Structure 1
């Protein structure tokens, strides 16, 4: 089996490689960021990519986004995600991506080496390895409608965003300051779980959430 490992923490990256080598698995590339992951996958066409969710430069969800891009480059690429947290935004897209094995394990729960290696082989073979806590958290978040957590004013601001109004136009329409609008939008992003650094991208996703009610 040939594997690409993407993990920014040097000790963990080397530790994973050592575990894989001891089990007869070849690491064809070990990288520390999402861009290099995509490049390595395109170059080596591995049997599996093992990816950390949070990597440079923003340490938010680069790993998940890079995994999705790598899968577009190599359709059906098996991906095993390792994370300290459940990142819902792109996790659902990855887990529901169709062909190809997929796994999502929380780092704190990968204490059993045999269990980890079993997950590696299962995902590489086209199966799944999803941490029970990941499933539990995603189901709980799906049951909760985040739009219900918005205040009436925040809902009004989001509605105006959906109409295509700029922050300045929203401030004029509501007769409030530009700063007040920015604060409302920041609260909207937080309540909808949109923690990506790109403000414009978050704005589009917030509007899509609103329109998808």
Structure 2
């Protein structure tokens, strides 16, 4: 049996983005309401908690845009198509005006499968074909609701989800290894070259801009 296809709006609750005015006080802080922005979405479709900024005083009207585990956050403005699946650490997070919230009906679609499906390049290309072209690409909630989603049988989705989770774990491990190796490389160079580079910079003569000379005025003798 071939997998069926349904519009995304039939299997998920899709909530448009909040007003950008609500995020005027968004800042790097340790207190306040965490806000998920496009910059926080990783290549493994997770949220980097280290980069989350916060609203010190959450303005009225944000309750509708709260996130919970199992939600998907998809970028609608600029880098259209980036998507992340929220884990158990979602807490009292909200999403930014550059994003859209997708809340899957877990009885009809597996959230892990759906996140991977939306990140699949042919599907991203479909999304991009529906953006409003302008100075910055924009994807509307209505366009997203009409996106067709291919749905294998629930047991197939479950099998795929388990495999996708394992792939994501391995990707995270490899990324951590790459990050550590890059630190080691930088440390080795700093150990060998750090003093040399510092001394070279210190001994370099300070160049100052040449003094501007007052242009000479040409004198002419008048013959009377």
TM-score scaled by length of structure 1: 0.29
Larger radius of gyration: 2
TM-score scaled by length of structure 2: 0.28
Q: Which has the higher contact order (CA 8 A, sep 6+)?
A: 2
